[in-house]
A and B are shown apart, each in its own frame.
Chain A
Amino acid sequence: MRHLMSPLDLSVEELYGLLSLANDIEHNPGKYAHACEGKKLATCFYEPSTRTRLSFESAMLNLGGSVLGFSSADSSSAAKGESVSDTIRVISCYADICAIRHPKEGAALVASLKSSIPVINAGDGGHQHPTQTLTDLLTIYSLKGGFSNLTIGLCGDLKFGRTVHSLIHALIRYPNVRFVLISPEELRIPDYIREDVLQKNEIPFTELERLEDAMPELDILYMTRVQKERFFNEEDYVRMKDFYILTKDKLSMAREDMLILHPLPRVNEISVEVDDDPRAVYFKQAQYGVYVRMALILTLLKWRDGLC
């Protein structure tokens, strides 16, 4: 039985299969409308989430399955002090597959070690958020036709932004990928990503503070939100939150075929005037999030049943 803890749990070939399946789901939704009939997805969300939880639920409902779960730690047995290990053992009796989000890093891995059903990490603190990465990859794959020969600008909170870390890990497996890392000094990419991932694999990258300086060379601009919940200190958060705002003016320096991605929710970092620009694909990205989760649920259930 396989779980999904990190985007790297999937080989390049498996990822290609998953993205192809997601593409087929997008174009032939009727073919998959009953694929999970009689199956149940448990969504165990120990911290607030709107789009991730709802996109999982939407994905399972689109496949003809049903969903059960909880949407905060307060409404689960965690409030009574139950461990993640115990909770997942119980959930395994109720559902066929589980998506878990937890504020603590490694919580999904703990669940997967004790689970008898496939576990999907739907975000574990600032650590991994693999289905967001799969969403990002499907968006790029569908709209750019592949991952090779791209210059990708990652902008905003590169220190705590788990989506950024996961995306870098996933994209370095493709040839001629280059990164432009745009962040304030305090929110630069962590050393272990810079040294152990980028430098070690000889991936070209530059680090900049000004978004305008990077704009003309980018194929993809991946904007991120400065996340309040990742700061221990309110003062630091207030100082950082409006550091980057993408406006029409700044966008005028970008290529015509550049794509703007954002994991959402957006706060101030992308001005609403940009939303109508054809390069702004972040709402389309949310739709791809449903397709890729449908493909993932189908794939993990198939692997569990030995039908791969």
Chain B
Amino acid sequence: MLNISGISEGFVLDHIKAGMSMSIYKDLKLDRLDCQVAIIKNARSNKMGKKDMIKVECPIDMLDLDILGFIDHNITVNVIKGDRIVEKKKLHLPKQVVNVIRCKNPRCITSIEQELDQIFILTDKEKEIYRCKYCEEQQKKKHRMVR
């Protein structure tokens, strides 16, 4: 059994789909933080079979919940203070995401004007469909930006 010590202040992202933790680490720009980060891959889970977890020792306001909600709104965000879980934050699909996914439509203006922000707008909450603000092409979440 692998032991990772608890954190006294920060947050724990739980119930991450197994294999997704590294891309979430990049999307949340955790590599840019000067604090302890623990990534746990393939942890045993009664609910999911296998899951990933990320523990970060930093204030919760450093976390972009919009991006996290876009990636997977089923992830549990536990806020830790004084060695205890003080809050479980609920994630929502954000109404728009900026520079998280890239438009793959070769006919889109963003394909030639690189300085434009890549803006995607939630157009169907039920089907979780996001469309490019400029060309309205639907994009899949796999087309993440390379940060």
The chain A residues found within 8 Å of chain B, CB to CB, are 83-85, 102-107, 109-110, 124-127, 192, 196
Contacts and interface: CB of A to CB of B under 8 A. Distances in A.
Interface string B74-101: 0000000000000000000000000000
Contacts of B137: 105
A302 to B, nearest CB: 28
Interface string B113-147: 10110000001100001001111111000000000
Given A106-B109, A125-B107, A192-B138, 14 more contacts: A83-B115, A85-B113, A102-B109, A104-B108, A104-B112, A105-B109, A105-B134, A106-B133, A107-B134, A109-B133, A124-B109, A127-B136, A196-B123, A196-B129
Contacts of A192: 138
Contacts of B136: 105-106, 127
A106 B135 contact: yes
A220 B144 CA distance: 44
A235 B129 CA distance: 33
Given A105-B134, A127-B136, A110 B113 contact: yes
A84 B137 CA distance: 20
A196 B123 CA distance: 10
Contacts of A126: 107
A102 B105 CA distance: 15
Nearest to A85: B113
A-B pairs with the 6 shortest C-beta distances? A106-B134, A105-B135, A104-B109, A106-B109, A107-B109, A106-B135
B21 interface: no
The interface residues of chain A, by DSSP majority, are classed as mixed
Given A104-B108, A106-B108, A83 B135 contact: no
Interface size range on B against A: 20 to 34
A124 B111 CA distance: 14
A127 B113 contact: no
14 contacts: A84-B109, A85-B116, A103-B107, A104-B107, A105-B105, A105-B107, A105-B134, A106-B110, A106-B132, A106-B136, A110-B109, A124-B109, A125-B135, A127-B135
A108 B57 CA distance: 45
Which one of B105, B109, B123, B124 has the greatest number of beta carbons of chain A within 10 Å? Answer: B109
Contacts of B135: 105-106, 125, 127
Contact of B108 (A84, A85, A105, A196): A105
Contacts of A124: 109
A110 B133 CA distance: 10
Which one of B107, B111, B129, B133 has the greatest number of beta carbons of chain A within 10 Å? Answer: B107
A106 B136 CA distance: 8
A160 to B, nearest CB: 10
A104 B135 CA distance: 8
Nearest to B108: A105
A103 B107 CA distance: 8
Contact of B113 (A83, A103, A125, A196): A83
Contacts of A107: 109, 134
B111 A104 contact: yes
Nearest to A232: B106
Nearest to B123: A196
Contacts of B133: 106, 109
A95 to B, nearest CB: 21
Contacts of B110: 106
A127 B103 CA distance: 14
Contacts of B109: 84, 102, 104-107, 109-110, 124
Contacts of A102: 109
A234 B116 CA distance: 31
A102 B135 CA distance: 12
Contacts of A83: 113, 115
Contacts of A109: 109, 133-134
A89 B52 CA distance: 48
Interface string B33-74: 000000000000000000000000000000000000000000
Nearest to A104: B109
A142 to B, nearest CB: 30
